[in-house]
């Protein structure tokens, strides 16, 4: 798809994590992608992706780069955000087992637990039923993945593994515990971009 004037402007928070994979997938789907490290770069996009990585490191760097408060303000103002793995942790209103100094950006009315499926050696792939994305199962890659342990009244559960919630949506916010950008699964990013286009009028 060719990027045109109506292409949604999507930033990928580029402080740490699998930034390149998200940027490549969004670009392939027709978005105008930019890497976000500063408040000015954040102000220039319609939406933001919070990639997988180390949630505590991303939190610390967001403070150092002075983008934490601008991100929170944009989320509260209705900016669409996709968070994968660590990004889901950052979007949660509460981290159950975060480091003492770790704070999320918030926005999703959920409680999350980090590394709920184990360490790096416990990483796995599975075929995940996600009815909102169609009948074909999603190929989901879990790498030190979190789970959602509490879901607020306004949150829609999109997917679960053995009754453990791993994908949620609330308004303009989409949080998933796994890595579709690693497995080449495009449907979550497509769903996100559809929301961005509706919000931005593109």
Q: Which residues pair with 126 in a beta bridge?
A: 140
In this prediction, residue 1 has a pLDDT band, given cuts at 50, 70 and 90, of: very low
In this prediction the pTM is: 0.93
What stretch of H or E contains 11? Answer: strand 9-13
Assess whether pLDDT exceeds 60 at residue 3. no
Give which of 15, 11, 16, 14 is closest to 27, Cα–Cα: 11
Cβ of 102: how many Cβ atoms within 10 Å?
17
Task: State the DSSP code for 97.
Answer: T
pLDDT tens track for 52-89: 999 999 999 999 999 999 999 999 999 999 999 999 99
Task: State the DSSP code for 47.
Answer: E
End-to-end CA distance of the chain: 15
Catalytic residue numbers, as ranges: 85, 179, 181
Q: Where are the beta strands (DSSP E) in 60-187?
A: 81-84, 92-95, 108-113, 124-128, 138-142, 147-151, 156-161, 164-170, 173-176
pLDDT tens track for 173-191: 999 999 999 888 999 999 9
Residue owning tokens 């999703």: 108
């Amino acid at each position: 798809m060719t990027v045109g004037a109506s292409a949604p402007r999507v930033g990928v928070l580029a402080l740490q994590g699998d930034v390149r994979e998200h940027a490549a997938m969004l670009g392939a789907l027709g978005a105008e992608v930019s890497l976000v490290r500063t408040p000015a770069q954040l102000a220039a996009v319609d939406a933001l992706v919070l990639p997988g990585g180390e949630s505590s490191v991303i939190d610390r760097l967001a403070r150092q780069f002075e983008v934490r408060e601008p991100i929170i303000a944009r989320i509260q103002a209705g900016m669409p955000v996709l968070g994968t793995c660590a990004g889901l942790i950052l979007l949660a209103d509460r981290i159950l087992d975060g480091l003492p100094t770790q704070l999320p950006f918030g926005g999703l009315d959920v409680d999350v637990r980090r590394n709920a499926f184990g360490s790096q050696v416990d990483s796995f792939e599975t075929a995940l039923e996600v009815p909102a994305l169609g009948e074909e199962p999603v190929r989901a890659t879990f790498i030190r993945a979190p789970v959602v342990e509490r879901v607020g009244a306004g949150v829609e559960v999109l997917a679960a593994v053995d009754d453990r919630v791993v994908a949620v949506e609330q308004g303009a916010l989409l949080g998933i515990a796994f890595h579709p950008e690693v497995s080449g699964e495009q449907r979550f990013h497509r769903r996100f971009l559809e929301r961005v286009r509706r919000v931005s009028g593109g």
